[in-house]
Each structure stands twice: as C-alpha cells, then as structure tokens.
Chain A
Amino acid sequence: EAQVTQNPRYLITVTGKKLTVTCSQNMNHEYMSWYRQDPGLGLRQIYYSMNVEVTDKGDVPEGYKVSRKEKRNFPLILESPSPNQTSLYFCASSSLDTAGGTQYFGPGTRLLVL
C-alpha cells in the first residue's frame, strides 16, 4: 500500500531534550516536505526537499533541522525543543513527474513540549 508513515504519532517531551520525528514514504517520490499545523494558522511549511541531499527552508524553519540521505526518509530534528514548538506535524511526499505534484500526507505527529 502506498503510504507516508510518521513516528511517533504522539510525543510528550521537555524543553531542551533533542528529538527526531521520522518520515518514510514507499512511493519513490522525489519531493518530501514537513509542515506544522497550529489552530487558526493553517499549515506552514518548515522544510522541503526536492531530492536526495537537497533541502530548502520553508516559511518557519527556525528551531528545526532535516536531512535527506535516502530518497524514502526525511527525518525532522528538533535539537533543543521549546514549548512554542508544541504543534501537530505532517510529513508529505510527491512525485515531481506527476502533473499536479499531488502531495500525499502522513497521519501526523502530535508533539507537546513542556
């Protein structure tokens, strides 16, 4: 089954404790992206990647890191999480060859930083 998976789905952590949210897709998509969703603010793009070893900042990259060492994985790293990073995070992927570049979204990771 074609899908985007994220782990963990729920995470409670404390300020300053490094964490990684994994994202994996099995569709051989070139493009992957991370978003955060906050009430009243819609989805905001954090980072995106057009292919392996190519990453770019989205609209809200501060406090986050990403890497794209393999095509299927695009982990989101919070080196020193802060309470303002409490949010719902979505990973997405799409093929650059498909008209429309339809993004397929993961189920989301709900993060609480205390």
Chain B
Amino acid sequence: GEDVEQSLFLSVREGDSSVINCTYTDSSSTYLYWYKQEPGAGLQLLTYIFSNMDMKQDQRLTVLLNKKDKHLSLRIADTQTGDSAIYFCAGNTNAGKSTFGDGTTLTVKP
C-alpha cells in the first residue's frame, strides 16, 4: 500500500510563512489532500489538489505538487496562532483507499 511521510513537528513565529512537507510512494493517488486537526476535534479539510495539477492557491494556503519527486507541500502565509494544529496530508485512489501521513504538529509562537 501507499506510504505517506511527514515531518512530525514545525515551529514558526506569528506572521512568518509555514511550509509543511509530505512525500508519498504511490503515484496512483487521484487526489491529494491537506487536513487540519485542532485539539479534541475531528479532521477538517483545508484544501486538495488533483494529481495532474502542479499548484493550487486558496487565500493564505498554497499547495505545491511535484509528481516526479512524489512531494507535496502546504504553505501557510502570514501564520497566525489560530493555525496551531496538526496537519495531515492524505491521498485517495479512485478505488476508495485512503492513506494518511502521521501528521505534522505546527506550533505558532507569538
């Protein structure tokens, strides 16, 4: 099955940009996603990118996909303390299999 790997921790200062990285092994994922999980809560979809796209921008969020290197990144511009959470990248195949990374804990310091 697919492996999805993320760095476990990231700490930034308020107002800086955050970049969370993810690598995956299986190129059959049709869509790649970024989810946010706040303490004690479920997962909330932030954004997704179709596998034939290179970049997607949505307000403060920019997703970059490098298919050759199987690398996905999420950039959060002007990071705020409310952005502190765990961020998961995930891939879905058309057959319904979903694979999530272990999550990156983002800490934003004032």
Q: Which residues of A contact B (CB under 8 A)?
A: 31, 33, 35, 40-45, 48-50, 56, 58-59, 90, 92, 99-108
Nearest CB on A from B58, distance (A): 12
Q: Chain A interface secondary structure, helix, strand, loop or mixed?
A: strand
Q: CB distance A35 to B100 under 8 Å?
A: yes
Q: Which residues of B contact A (CB under 8 A)?
A: 1, 4, 8, 30-31, 33, 41-45, 48, 50, 88, 90, 92, 95-103
Q: CB distance B31 to A45 under 8 Å?
A: no
Q: CB distance A43 to B48 under 8 Å?
A: no
Q: CB distance A100 to B42 under 8 Å?
A: no
A33 vs B88: C-alpha distance in the bound complex, in angstroms?
17
Q: CB distance B92 to A101 under 8 Å?
A: yes
Q: Chain B interface secondary structure, helix, strand, loop or mixed?
A: strand
Known: A100-B50, A101-B92. 4 other contacts (CB 8 A): A33-B96, A58-B98, A101-B31, A106-B42
Q: A90-B42, A101-B31, A108-B42 are in contact. Are A50 and B48 (CB under 8 A)?
A: no
Which residues of A have CB within 8 Å of B42?
A: 90, 105-108
Q: A100-B48, A105-B42, A108-B42 are in contact. Are A42 and B100 (CB under 8 A)?
A: yes
Closest 3 CB pairs of A and B: A42-B102, A43-B100, A105-B42
Which residues of B have CB within 8 Å of A100?
A: 31, 33, 48, 50
